[in-house]
Chains A and B, each alone.
Chain A
Amino acid sequence: MNSLPRIRLEKRLDTPRWLGVATPVFSVLAALLVIAVIFGLLGVNPLVAYARIFTGAFGSLYGLSETVTKAIPLMLAGAGLAVAFRARVYNIGAEGQLLIGAVCATGVALFVPGVPDGLRLPAMFVAGALGGALWAMVPAVLKARLRIDEVLTSLMTVYIASELVNYLVYGPWKGLYESGFPYSDKFPPAAQIPRIGITRIHYPTLILALLAAVLAYFLVRRTRWGFEIRVTGENPEAARYAGMNYLRTAMLVMALSGALAGIAGVGEVAGIHYRLRYPQGISPGYGFTAIIVAWLARLNPLGVILTALLIGGLLVGGDAIQLAMGLPSATVYLFNGMILLFVLGGDLFTRYQIRIELPGRAVATPVRLEREEVG
């Protein structure tokens, strides 16, 4: 045996309920602690920064309304990703699907004549959902037909979608009345999603987002198809023996997560900006941040409602410290990456018991051996 202490993981038979809630919370706290250290090393006072993040996001009505506003796209994309990841289908391309949703909505808002005013917005939402789903079909079909791993292809479609938006706003869709800026023309009033009062909360999209999370939850928990998703994700072998069609499930969850991300894109252009803008102007990486939202909720679509609000707050607070302390926009990625890493590590506590073996001590007891065999 080694002279170093060894870390051993033992599978748990069942996860206590409180652990399922406690681990994400502690994971986030641990991540924030490590980020504080990095802030310190980079010469940023972490206490001041954290205080500003908190007051920025939750300390005022304006901050709270912005938190809800930013939670909308995270909730939509996050709910879809939670379902996809459940089936172990790694759609990393939600950001691209969101952008395509925005493009489709813009197309319907500005370039389709003859749509009655009352139908303009519904048509935009449908177009955005379809666009996002179709865009997600690129990696889905490649996976189904050629067995190409969806991680890379879905990510490539993000870059392509982003350049497509650039092409449109610098080229054919560049607004006639937007001199100099890479923006499309402003949407007509019938193509603008209403907001609550003076806030930027475009509530119809918020309602859609809440509905999506609830429906996704019921889909996963209460339907036959959801059962297939869960079995496929937890035990692909068993799913195959039971005659479940993995590739069909993969296509369906890709389409679903793409459609929801597409709707998120519609909300951003029609609820916030009222125009198509350069890609980072539409989404500061909502599609990627939604990955963390989904994981933090432990892939439970209902939990996504909560984690979307939490991470939305972090984004608002992040904006506040960027302005106040002169930090770059990439700071948000530091939070994203660190939280994801710790949530991933924290997940371990729910699935395994961790034992540290000191050198020279035999620690195998019969009870534990039994557990291993079951696991």
Chain B
Amino acid sequence: MSIWAYIFSVLQAAIPAGTPLLYGTLGEVTAERSGVVNLGVEGMMIMGAVTAFGVAQATGNAFLAIAAAALVGGLLALIHAFASITLRVNQVVSGLALTMLGQGISGMMGKRFIGMPPRVQLKPVPIPGLSDLPVLGPLLFQHDLLVYIGLLMVPVLWFLFYRTRWGINLRSVGESPATADAMGVNVFQVRYLAVFFGGLMAGIGGAYLSIVYAPAWIEGMTAGIGWIVIALTIFAMWDPVRGLLGAYLFGSVRVLQYRLQGLGISPPLLNMLPFILTILVLMFSAGEAMRKRLGAPAALMQPYTREER
């Protein structure tokens, strides 16, 4: 195989591998744009994964499974929203608690699913016409439906963020809630919705793992993906397009991880790769943010209240 063909095959596999990360990142980017950090992504994802697998086993319907996973992710996110927006507790610790909760409940719910053969699996759907394009066709247009929807979400979110009233409200709530409030934006409503949306997306990301990417239930199967999502959100500078790049970059690493294992490199050392890369990516983002004076939404992690200043 030529080197180009090899790179091509890695990239082709990287897109589905990066899809759970893409969903999670787009959701977290939205939540953080409103000023709320949700460190519960790992917990919401694993709950999405177990829910999707369970519903798929019970109904045989993949779409029902995905919808249920999204809903469960969203509901968990609402716990964090209530804690951090209404009760104004420490967002870091509340998110951590959510992750632990998700790991615990999914472990208990999923016990009966361990070792079960999956009843449904989302099959690739080549897009007629586009899938026959040279290079781009097999790279982008011969995947399953969730890959396409994830890809499509990127321009849609970009448009929403930067070209609509709704996006202006979202960003202003994340930058200066007091100003937004004075302008008549309902800060609490916007934040609740943004965090809820983040949960929906994390749930779908989890569903992708358990019924599409590696159809099965394995306890703790998210294995840190939710934490990489948090790092990718920073790497993305809270921008959906850069989120896409980051997600597929980590997708490639995941693919390489499996390929290099075939060459006889110790699996534990390869398993370190995504986490070392995450630290490197954070270092890169920090350097870039300093140079370009970019940064997080100004009101990130700051609860808002009308009464105190």
Q: What residues of chain A have their CB less than 8 Å away from a CB belonging to chain B? A: 7-11, 38, 42, 44, 90, 92, 138, 142, 146-149, 151-153, 155-157, 159-160, 163-164, 166-167, 170-171, 288, 291, 295, 326-338, 340-341, 344-345, 347-348, 372, 375
**B213 lies within 8 A of chain A by Cβ:** no
**B243 lies within 8 A of chain A by Cβ:** no
Q: In the complex, which residues of chain B have a beta carbon less than 8 angstroms from the beta carbon of A92? A: 96
Selected contact of A288 from candidates B90, B100, B110, CB within 8 Å: B100
Q: What residues of chain B have their CB less than 8 Å away from a CB belonging to chain A? A: 39, 43, 79, 83, 86-90, 92-94, 96-111, 219-220, 224, 227, 230-231, 234, 266, 268-269, 271-272, 275-276, 278-279, 282-283, 286-287, 290, 305, 307-308
> Shortest distance in angstroms between A20's beta carbon and chain B's nearest beta carbon?
17
Contact A159 B107 (CB under 8 A): no
Selected contact of A333 from candidates B88, B103, B110, CB within 8 Å: B103
Contact B100 A171 (CB under 8 A): no
Q: In the complex, which residues of chain B have a beta carbon less than 8 angstroms from the beta carbon of A151? A: 39, 92
For the complex, give the distance between the alpha carbons of A92 and B99 in Å.
13
For the complex, give the distance between the alpha carbons of A347 and B83 in Å.
11
Closest residue of A by beta carbon distance from B307: A372
Contact B89 A347 (CB under 8 A): yes
Interchain Cβ contacts under 8 Å between A and B, 6 examples: A92-B96, A148-B286, A163-B271, A337-B101, A340-B96, A348-B89
Residues of A contacting B: mostly: helix
> Shortest distance in angstroms between A81's beta carbon and chain B's nearest beta carbon?
11
Contact A163/B108 with A152-B278, A152-B282, A341-B79 known, Cβ cut-off 8 Å? no
For the complex, give the distance between the alpha carbons of A13 and B241 in Å.
47
For the complex, give the distance between the alpha carbons of A151 and B272 in Å.
18
> Shortest distance in angstroms between A52's beta carbon and chain B's nearest beta carbon?
16
Contact A330 B39 (CB under 8 A): no
Closest residue of A by beta carbon distance from B271: A163
> Shortest distance in angstroms between A200's beta carbon and chain B's nearest beta carbon?
26
For the complex, give the distance between the alpha carbons of A196 and B231 in Å.
45
Contact A330 B308 (CB under 8 A): no
Selected contact of B43 from candidates A7, A44, A138, A337, CB within 8 Å: A337
For the complex, give the distance between the alpha carbons of A301 and B272 in Å.
33
* Beyond A170-B268, A171-B268, 17 extra complex contacts between A and B, CB < 8 Å: A10-B307, A146-B283, A148-B286, A156-B275, A159-B224, A159-B271, A163-B275, A328-B108, A329-B107, A334-B104, A334-B107, A334-B108, A336-B97, A337-B104, A344-B94, A348-B88, A375-B308
Q: In the complex, which residues of chain B have a beta carbon less than 8 angstroms from the beta carbon of A332? A: 104
Contact A152/B227 with A42-B109, A159-B272 known, Cβ cut-off 8 Å? yes
> Shortest distance in angstroms between B121's beta carbon and chain A's nearest beta carbon?
25
> Shortest distance in angstroms between B253's beta carbon and chain A's nearest beta carbon?
13
Selected contact of A344 from candidates B83, B224, B279, CB within 8 Å: B83
For the complex, give the distance between the alpha carbons of A246 and B275 in Å.
27
Contact A146/B287 with A160-B275, A171-B266 known, Cβ cut-off 8 Å? yes
Q: Which of B87, B108, B227 counts the most A-chain CB atoms under 10 A from its CB?
A: B108
Contact B104 A167 (CB under 8 A): no
Contact B87 A291 (CB under 8 A): no
